[in-house]
């Protein structure tokens, strides 16, 4: 039997997360895959190198996956509350996949020192011409 929580019970459970002084933050981003495709056509490999490491480039074979990694890095930067810029660059965020293809990420030492992430989760999906990512971070 499926156990569905009422909205109020869900809020009580979520508020319990802060019992341990963990700040939970969520970031999301959505991008049109054809926008990424146009950038790839116009700039070629330089576009990928602008925001992906060589290891990440090896992981992404399809344009939809490249768009998913773009959305993921944007979502992570939004969850951290700083966006992509001088405090956090695209290359400070390292996306990997486990043996089952599930994405995860780490930060560079410099960025981890600033943001002090204790736990995180990342989800990437693409369908209907869009790629979307959601990052959940506790600090």
Helix axes 63-79, 33-43, angle to 10 degrees: 110
CA atoms of 84 and 105, how far apart (whole Å): 15
Region for residue 110 given its phi and psi (left: phi exceeds 0; alpha: psi -120 to 50; beta: otherwise) = alpha
Establish whether 118 is a catalytic residue: no
Q: How many of the other CB atoms lie within 10 Å of CB of 92?
A: 21
Which stretches within 16-133 are classed as H helix?
33-43, 45-51, 54-59, 63-79, 109-115
Establish whether 110 is a catalytic residue: no
Catalytic hit among 78, 91, 109, 118: 78
Catalytic annotation, residues: 78, 126
């Amino acid at each position: 039997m499926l156990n569905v929580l009422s909205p109020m019970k869900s809020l009580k459970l979520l508020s319990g997360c802060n019992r341990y002084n963990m700040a939970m933050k969520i970031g999301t981003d959505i991008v049109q895959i054809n926008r990424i495709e146009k950038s790839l056509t116009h700039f070629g490999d330089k576009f990928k190198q602008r925001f992906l490491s060589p290891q990440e480039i090896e992981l992404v074979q399809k344009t939809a996956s490249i768009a998913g990694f773009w959305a993921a890095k944007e979502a992570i930067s939004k969850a951290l509350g700083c966006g992509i810029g001088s405090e956090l660059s695209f290359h400070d965020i390292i996306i990997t996949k486990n043996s089952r293809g599930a994405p995860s990420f780490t930060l560079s030492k410099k960025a981890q020192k600033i943001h002090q992430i204790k736990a995180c989760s990342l989800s990437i999906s693409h369908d209907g011409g869009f790629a979307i990512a959601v990052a959940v971070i506790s600090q």
